[in-house]
Structure 1
Amino acid sequence: MAPPRDPTCPRAASPSPSLSATAPGCVEINGHPHRLPTDLSRTAVDFLREDLRLRGTKVGCGQGDCGSCTIVVDGEPRYACVTPVAQLDGRRVTTVEGLATASPCGARLQQALLAHQAVQCGFCIPGMLMAASAAIDAGEVRDRAGACAAIDGVLCRCTGYRKIVDAVTEVGTGAAPRPLTPPPGAGEGAAVGRPLTRLDGPEKVDGSQCFGADGIPADSLYLRAVRCPFPRARFVLGDLDAYLRAHPGLHRVLTHADVPGRNLHGIAPAYADQPVLPASEARHHLEAIALVVGERAAVAALDLAGFPVEWEPLPAVFTVDEAARPDAPLLHANRAGNLLVEGRVLRGDAAAALREAAHVVTGRFASSFVEHAYLEPEAGWARRVGDTIELHSPTQAPHPHREDLARVLGVPEPRVRVVPTAVGGGFGGKLDMTVQPLLAVAAWHLDRPVAIVFSREESMASSTKRHPARIVSTMAAGSDGRLRAVEFEGDYNTGAFASWGTAVANRVPVHAGGPYRLPHYAARARAIHTHVTPAGAFRGFGVPQTTMSQEQLIDELALKAGWDPLEFRALNALRPGDTLPTGQLLDDSVGLVECLDALRPRWTEALARIAARNAKAPPQRRHGVGLAAFFYGCGNTGTPNPSTVRIGVRPDGTLVLHQGAVDAGQGSNTVIPQIAADALGVPVGRLHIVGPDTHLTPDCGRTSASRQTFVTGRAAFLAGTALRRRIRALLNAAEDAPVHFGEGWVGAGDARLPLRELPLDAHGYALCAEERFDPPTRSLDAAGQGRPYATYAFGAQMAEVEVDLETGRVRVRRVVAAHDVGRRVNPTLLEGQIEGAVAQGVGLALMEQYLPGRNNNLHDYLIPTVHDVPEVEVLFVEAPTPIGPYGAKGIGEPALVPTAAAILNAIHHATGARVREAPATPDVVLRALAAAGRGLPLAPGAR
């Protein structure tokens, strides 16, 4: 059974039966007449969401950039966020809630998206459905190109678009529909390994999925943050009482003095350094320094330029070089040199090995801030319920947020309840608290629900980013081609606050040598503070940008030593029985060689095909192919990261799975039940699922570091097997006796037990099993020796590119991704994760560059569209880990790690030029071509 619909989400308003949709001032919406509001300057999306409570139409940007708000007006797709409501007068409007009946293709299109597993977080899906249905109904989707054109005005950050295009093409061309994969029958092994259709899929395609801004109670007060207009400034607040009196509809202004507990929060208590609201100094552009609370209309109409505050701009540092200067201002008094932390891993004598090696290469590399660009801006609401503060918002970390909020409020943890809403994309960005402490403090002081919805600008200015990297590295190989040593130094700009900077600085040195045998190794990484939006967790914790540097050096070293790049990697690849530079023995689940073997025929074919293509291509157009390999530790680095899962049996025989893993689109709402069902030996459909809620589900840790399938999945496996074992013991059944559940009874083999005969536990269950799994790790010592991860994902990707030597533009044409996933729990969901990661890797390599204060929108900050993503072929390798559920490992973060590096190596293969910075925008590529003497001669008079 799918997770239940969020009961806090409002139902749509009733139509007005006495109205005619053609009457002046009226509109037909989903077949029903409605009167337009008197204020015709309002946007259509505001009218739909707030007046009619049709909240399937989403707001991702408010500026017509993302397409999440797409509706259909008289058969044409429109962006509802920029359409004045006056333009709906007398028109026929369809939203996602009415699509199944209003559009001839609507119901089939919704089913096609589910059947193709084209849905991940689901935030963009209403917009995709509306845009695609309009094009299909108009006869414009006759092939795959038509499907791409149909949705090219709607952005998706999760899926990589390919499965969406597959579904739209199927419906538009009238192809035979792909069937849904129903829950399988009973029996161990019946669910794991099957491409089970998402259990929570229907609500993602019918508009009922409840995101942070969708369940806000009608009587809520709204918050708006007063933000610093400077990168760094001292401030003094003026007469707040007079300000309130001058603005009817406002109820309160909250400042640092209103925080009842500790005015600091962060990922770990030891590094909690971010104030809920600062007392006198802001440390990055658009940091919130006060909150205005009032009625929705009053807050929305407020011009904060008149807020009583005096600013004194102060000197600021923006790069790691500036921050490290002796005279640089300190962001935190207890962190000398603005150094947050340094991580290191040391083995052997790298310096001596480099001096003695036959082949040595050195390189410098730099990358930029990268924005998560999830389509759902931060939003949520909170209220007092008795002596408890109850918070509803998108989060990847419900229990850690409860712990942090309890400290902020100065109350015991049980007095804080975190109820995650659906998460419209996360990728690490919703691990940190943003709206949560603001809402909690406001709810503490006010007797009504309080809500906040960030604008796209606020979201981008206040959420964390991927760390910019400054890297210097040297690698060496012997005359036999075997790697001898790596020296690595990396500085990572962690911004104003710690966030996940410690995790990045500690993870990077473990991974900087790549998935290779290395007898000598010295890697250091530093996280350094600057006056910029904090950098935090973003799909890989610093490893993708590190891999861009290191895998280019691997290619250089291979070529210098006279080896084919793939064969060089295969020669040096880690194998079972090898030891990492951390001293950890890899005794199982090391599938890199198999991944390279899977790529080899495609690599050989691509080299020949591209050579032939270049022989015929015009001189300004070059084609190339590149490789990158990787490994990635699943879970936190050398620290505990347990998950706990509970499965109970009610007296009526209902099976209830309590699992608190947040599904941010990766599919844990389906994968965890698949594992639990097989462990218990029942069909997935027999499980009633209780999803994340700190009052109802045990702590499953954070949705990060590719740990949920591995860690929470293992806990679910243990809980299922423990419950089955207990039932067999109660009935004196054989160890292999099948377990059965009926109305009011359980059985094992031929025996039955009435559940009414059993006492109920504190949760109301007649039978219950709760199991915890914490991967066996050991913290790293001062030299980086230890067991940082219990298991690792391995893989390699191959990218084919086309480079225009005149413009510097790069197009990625094809990616082949070979990944060791341990065991495929749900193959199609795994494919979707890899396809989405490849799309993000294309953005990381070629276009994404966050410039603080300059591109806080989805018009100037570019992410890949449907036309930018390449063909993707996925190759699975299964090297099971004995401590994973049925051998499974994580994939969400590993899938992104090698993509950008493979693209940069392909650019070199195409042009002979090395790109030493990312993103490889056209100007960067042209500079690299010029430096390598590989560019085309300029035309006379050209500059």
Structure 2
Amino acid sequence: MNLKKMTLNINGADRMFICDPEKDTLASVLRRLGLTGTKVGCGTGVCGACSVILDGKVVRSCTRKISRIEEYSSVMTIEGIGTALHPHPLQYAWVNLGAVQCGFCVPGFIVSAYQLLQENPDPTREEVRDWFQKHRNVCRCTGYKQIVDAVMEAAAIMRGEKTFEDITYDWSKDIEEGFYGKPLVRPNAMAKACGVCDYGDDIELKMPAETLHAVLVMPMKTNHAKILNIDFSEAEKMPGVVKVITAKDLEGANKLMAYQFSPRTVEFEQTHKLLQDEKIVRWGDPVAMVVADTKDHAREAAGKVKVELEQLPEYMSYLEAVKPDAQRIHASFDNIYSTQPVLKGDYDNVANMIDNAEYTVEGSFYSSREPHMSIEGDTVQAYYDEDGKLCVHCKTMTLYFDRDDMAEAIGIPVEDLRVIENPTGGSFGWAMNAASYALAGAATKVTGMPVALSMTYAEFMAFSGKRSPAFFNARLACDENGKILAGEFDSGLDNGAYPEMGDDKLTKILRFMFFPYYVPNVVGLARSAVTNHNFGVPYRGYGAPQAYTCGEALIDMMAEKMGMDPFEFRYKNIARPGDTNLNQRNFLQYPMEEMMDTLKPIYDEAVKRAKEEDTPEIRKGVGIAWGGYNVGLGGVDEATVAIELVGDGKFRKYDTWQDQGQGGDAGSLVCTLEALRPYFPEVTPDDVKVIQTDSKYCPNTGESAGSRSHFANGKASIVAAKNLADAMRKEDGTYRTYDEMIAEGIPTRYDGHWVAADEWDYFDFLDPNDGSGEPTYAYTYALYLAEVSVETATGKTTVDKMTCVDWVGKVGNIQSVNGQAFGGMSHSIGFALSENYEDVRKDTNMLRAGVPYIKDIPDDMTAIHLDGYDERGPFGSSGASEAFQSSDHVAVINAINNACGVRIYDLPASPEKVKAGIDAIARGEEPSKPGKYFLGSDMYEELEKLKANPLSWD
């Protein structure tokens, strides 16, 4: 190896270093020098997280080899722009305008924006967007709107037109009123904006020198094969290799997730192994893990492991896996492993009603396999801590749930395992799966040494789960007045290689099909199957977007067939008080009319604008869609937090509100402030320190999923605050000081435990025979309006504007809720138009998998939060997250149809699909649509079998 001494002027100072100029990139050198504000996401120059300024130009440093850089060149990184004590206006604006969410992309954006403002001190919003598009800066959290806001405000400050105070929320004015609903800054935002927040790969760089490095052996050759032999003899002899770990080293453990959520689910074995030893069941299944003294040595040795395979049939979709001649993917259960019906009203007569109705529409739809594409991939660290516990740092969003799963997979008692969530660069759901966390822990158990496990982005894309695709056959009928009579649907959920959570996910289809309309008569069947594609994991919306893909398209098709305005048709059929949902229960809230009334003038103006701007070359269209989602886990939900008095007027809050970028720290802070306010009205944000997601210190507040965190944490915080106040209260009604508590031997830390079933008794799981039930304690509602332009020459669709009217109860932190709204809309636009993980060989990075860049997302996005109050919720709040990525993608699809007459039945709506439809219409033909899907059996025959075999939860 021939090395070179080199000097660069970095952030104004000459820095000498030694490097391999042909191997080292500018990013790797900067990070080795301790400048870890330069983040590496994709590693292929398509995400911009690694942006730095090189000789006055923004470059993506992860692909810039040192050999291409002249000595003494000038480099500026985020650390040279400002510090937490002396932030640059860009950093200050990012923090105070809600442009920091997960924060992983933030240093790259701020560095990029810094150079923009050097060249153009007074840019327009469109010039800002053009700049970020040119430099490929990707944000997966915000929807970009707040980022442009931050640049514009920072530019005004730099020009002397505004001051820091002009963009600062002064909470001192609200001490008496309280801070609920106000734009409190996230406690960790400034660290992220200054590049000093350490994410997983940053922590790895700062671990002790003896730390080992693990690389997975993932034979990316096939999707389904029998493993004949794994030969790692050559790998063991490679430099620096400590151990090649295989399934034999994890004997008695090595398996994840065998939870079953329905009596209609077959008893399946634990098929998700950490390391496969018998079969490859999906692309990228790991068969071994090489642990070595350096990452490079581990990677080189991993390439020397030889895996002999015998090819087996590959079933890459639900439709292939359920064919009559398809072989079982897992020997112990059929490929279709779970079914659940929903039956409402005169369900035995639904088919006849639809056949004889005045108006009937039908269609078959495909909701695609959406990749999460968090900019930070998967990175895990493990070691034995000061108490002798095996400690794993990871991106968990379900800390205690994952801890239980990990302990079983590693093969240790759960009490010997400590789990900590690192600062996390987004996940949007995939981080609920504990496979990589358990692998790192297993490596430490086997070697007895600290271990860091990380992946290339291509490995991460193959390894991590995706949104489960779903196929639908469905019909809808209404009478001559436009009132819905009956609905019928048959669905097949593709849960990929492993069955885990697929039976839970399919219940969401049964709950959110035709939500929130009143449909008096319904027959539906949801089925879940395993395939050889990437396994299904949670993704914001968790089953509901699949249902809306079908349901909201049928609603639009019915309005079109009747010649009725789609807004009017929806208004006529939304549920009113007393109307029941598909599960034969009342809606917990009925804000639907108010929401539609709020959107109506905006809709009318959009329709008028589309007609005025429509041309033969650029067709303009408007689409709407109803959405929403449940809040929480229902009667089984519970949460615990702790509040501790640590000084007079000072508190610490402990919980596991896992922050994936949604603002768990800000949410916990505002819930704590509001819970303490009845007893200590003078408490301020500076008086509360939030300590989160370390199982050594923090009680189990539950998962950051199901839109439940604010609701459950808030409820538990109320209890904890009361318990602490009761302990502090003297007989005369005043409160003891901290010193008095200590002197009297009274504990200063108190748990607050909340159990949903203790507060309400109406919960019931969905009945396995007819789908009736109410397994939740709150809902959120969202109504979307999308305005699009379609280029007739190319079929390319651009979303010009998107509006959301939502009901989330009382808003707790306005910046966090807006962040969820705009971020959810941006994901949904990508889901509608470009995002897909279908080709496992091609879709290896964000660009190839269709991530939307800033010019793919409209700058004109509006979220209108109705002034609601959920009497069930803490402080009047319901929940906020998943409603914002429920049906907005269908608003885009409906708008395309409105613009050019092309109905897209299978996502995404690529330019090729839209163009093919436009061309068919030009030829006087009907645009093509899929025929009825074969989903494993005739739905009515399957329902008869289920009726003959009634089951109960008992």
TM-score, length-scaled by structure 1 = 0.90
Give the AA of the match of 1:585.
N
What is the CA distance between 1:140 and its match in structure 2? 6.1
Q: How does 1:207-356 map to 2 (within 5 A)?
A: 207-216=195-204, 217-219=207-209, 220-228=211-219, 229-241=221-233, 243-245=235-237, 247-259=238-250, 261-266=252-257, 268=259, 272-296=270-294, 298-299=296-297, 302=300, 304-336=302-334, 338-348=335-345, 349=347, 350-356=350-356
Equivalent position of 1:748 in the other structure: none
Residues 1:187 and 1:181: Cα distance change in structure 2 (over 3 Å): closer
Equivalent position of 2:852 in the other structure: 864
Equivalent position of 1:670 in the other structure: 666
Deviations 1:538-572 (A, max 9, x none): 11112113212211211122233343211221222
User: In the alignment, which of 96, 105, 111 is matched to residue 78 of structure 2?
Assistant: 96
Equivalent position of 2:598 in the other structure: 598
CA distance in 2, matches of 1:235, 1:367: 33
User: In the alignment, which of 106, 113, 124 is matched to residue 105 of structure 2?
Assistant: 124
Equivalent position of 1:815 in the other structure: 802
Structure 1 residue 908 corresponds to structure 2 residue 909:
no
Residues 1:196 and 1:789: Cα distance change in structure 2 (over 3 Å): same
Structure 1 residue 160 corresponds to structure 2 residue 152:
no
Give the AA of the match of 1:679.
A
What is the CA distance between 1:463 and its match in structure 2? 0.7
What is the CA distance between 1:799 and its match in structure 2? 0.5
Helix, strand or coil for the counterpart of 2:255? Answer: coil
Q: How does 1:548-627 map to 2 (within 5 A)?
A: 548-587=549-588, 589-614=589-614, 617=615, 619-627=616-624
Equivalent position of 1:371 in the other structure: 371
Residues 1:613 and 1:186: Cα distance change in structure 2 (over 3 Å): closer
Give the AA of the match of 1:353.
M
User: In the alignment, which of 55, 76, 89 is matched to residue 108 of structure 1?
Assistant: 89
Asked if structure 1 preserves the Cα contact closer than 8 Å seen for 2:362 and 2:475, the reply is yes
Structure 1 residue 533 corresponds to structure 2 residue 534:
yes
Equivalent position of 2:938 in the other structure: none
User: In the alignment, which of 651, 658, 662 is matched to residue 654 of structure 2?
Assistant: 658
Asked if structure 1 preserves the Cα contact closer than 8 Å seen for 2:99 and 2:142, the reply is yes
What is the CA distance between 1:381 and its match in structure 2? 0.6
Residues 1:358 and 1:453: Cα distance change in structure 2 (over 3 Å): same
Helix, strand or coil for the counterpart of 1:117? Answer: coil
Equivalent position of 1:687 in the other structure: 688
CA distance in 2, matches of 1:91, 1:671: 44
Equivalent position of 1:641 in the other structure: 637
CA distance in 1, matches of 2:299, 2:330: 36
Task: Identify unmatched segments of 5+ residues in structure 1.
Answer: 1-22, 734-738, 746-753, 939-943
Asked if structure 2 preserves the Cα contact closer than 8 Å seen for 1:36 and 1:85, the reply is no
Q: How does 1:502-517 map to 2 (within 5 A)?
A: 502-517=503-518
Give the AA of the match of 1:781.
D
Deviations 1:649-670 (A, max 9, x none): 2366641111211111111211
Asked if structure 2 preserves the Cα contact closer than 8 Å seen for 1:184 and 1:191, the reply is no
Equivalent position of 1:10 in the other structure: none
User: In the alignment, which of 737, 741, 750 is matched to residue 755 of structure 1?
Assistant: 741
CA distance in 1, matches of 2:736, 2:47: 48
Residues 1:305 and 1:878: Cα distance change in structure 2 (over 3 Å): same
Asked if structure 2 preserves the Cα contact closer than 8 Å seen for 1:911 and 1:929, the reply is yes
Helix, strand or coil for the counterpart of 1:841? Answer: helix
CA distance in 1, matches of 2:706, 2:902: 34
CA distance in 2, matches of 1:379, 1:767: 33
Deviations 1:456-498 (A, max 9, x none): 1011001111112211111111223221111111112111012
CA distance in 2, matches of 1:885, 1:88: 59
Residues 1:546 and 1:135: Cα distance change in structure 2 (over 3 Å): same
User: In the alignment, which of 65, 68, 73 is matched to residue 84 of structure 1?
Assistant: 65
CA distance in 2, matches of 1:31, 1:268: 56
Q: Compare 259-268 and 705-714 and name the one that shifted more.
A: 259-268
Residues 1:698 and 1:801: Cα distance change in structure 2 (over 3 Å): same
Structure 1 residue 847 corresponds to structure 2 residue 829:
no
Asked if structure 1 preserves the Cα contact closer than 8 Å seen for 2:246 and 2:275, the reply is yes
CA distance in 1, matches of 2:138, 2:127: 16
What is the CA distance between 1:726 and its match in structure 2? 4.6
CA distance in 1, matches of 2:449, 2:781: 51
CA distance in 1, matches of 2:813, 2:172: 13
CA distance in 1, matches of 2:323, 2:252: 35
What is the CA distance between 1:443 and its match in structure 2? 0.6
Residues 1:541 and 1:101: Cα distance change in structure 2 (over 3 Å): closer
Structure 1 residue 779 corresponds to structure 2 residue 765:
yes
Asked if structure 2 preserves the Cα contact closer than 8 Å seen for 1:380 and 1:451, the reply is yes
CA distance in 1, matches of 2:726, 2:362: 57
What is the CA distance between 1:693 and its match in structure 2? 0.9
CA distance in 2, matches of 1:128, 1:837: 20
CA distance in 2, matches of 1:676, 1:239: 55
Asked if structure 2 preserves the Cα contact closer than 8 Å seen for 1:344 and 1:506, the reply is no
Task: Identify unmatched segments of 5+ residues in structure 2.
Answer: 261-266, 678-682, 928-954
Equivalent position of 1:399 in the other structure: 400
CA distance in 2, matches of 1:113, 1:726: 41
Residues 1:607 and 1:297: Cα distance change in structure 2 (over 3 Å): closer
What is the CA distance between 1:106 and its match in structure 2? 6.5
Residues 1:567 and 1:100: Cα distance change in structure 2 (over 3 Å): same
Helix, strand or coil for the counterpart of 2:533? Answer: coil
Asked if structure 2 preserves the Cα contact closer than 8 Å seen for 1:805 and 1:935, the reply is no
Give the AA of the match of 2:849.
Y
Helix, strand or coil for the counterpart of 2:48? Answer: coil
CA distance in 2, matches of 1:408, 1:613: 59
Asked if structure 2 preserves the Cα contact closer than 8 Å seen for 1:250 and 1:295, the reply is yes
Give the AA of the match of 1:252.
K
Q: Count the aligned residue pairs.
A: 889
Equivalent position of 1:702 in the other structure: 703
Asked if structure 1 preserves the Cα contact closer than 8 Å seen for 2:259 and 2:501, the reply is no
CA distance in 2, matches of 1:839, 1:702: 24
Equivalent position of 1:14 in the other structure: none
Asked if structure 1 preserves the Cα contact closer than 8 Å seen for 2:187 and 2:666, the reply is yes
CA distance in 2, matches of 1:934, 1:180: 58
Structure 1 residue 136 corresponds to structure 2 residue 117:
yes
Runs of 4+ in 1 over 6 A off after TM superposition: 934-938
Helix, strand or coil for the counterpart of 2:88? Answer: helix
User: In the alignment, which of 796, 811, 818 is matched to residue 831 of structure 1?
Assistant: 818
CA distance in 1, matches of 2:925, 2:83: 57
Aligned-residue Cα RMSD (Å) equals: 2.5
What is the CA distance between 1:534 and its match in structure 2? 0.5
Give the AA of the match of 1:36.
F
Helix, strand or coil for the counterpart of 1:917? Answer: coil
Residues 1:383 and 1:625: Cα distance change in structure 2 (over 3 Å): same
Give the AA of the match of 1:380.
V
TM-score, length-scaled by structure 2 = 0.89
CA distance in 2, matches of 1:80, 1:95: 10
Equivalent position of 1:736 in the other structure: none
User: In the alignment, which of 169, 181, 189 is matched to residue 201 of structure 1?
Assistant: 189
Give the AA of the match of 1:759.
G
Deviations 1:1-55 (A, max 9, x none): xxxxxxxxxxxxxxxxxxxxxx972122223332121422233355445521221
Residues 1:237 and 1:161: Cα distance change in structure 2 (over 3 Å): same
CA distance in 1, matches of 2:531, 2:121: 50
What is the CA distance between 1:170 and its match in structure 2? 2.3
What is the CA distance between 1:266 and its match in structure 2? 2.0
Equivalent position of 2:779 in the other structure: 792
Give the AA of the match of 1:81.
C
CA distance in 2, matches of 1:933, 1:288: 50
Percent identical residues: 28
Asked if structure 2 preserves the Cα contact closer than 8 Å seen for 1:224 and 1:299, the reply is no
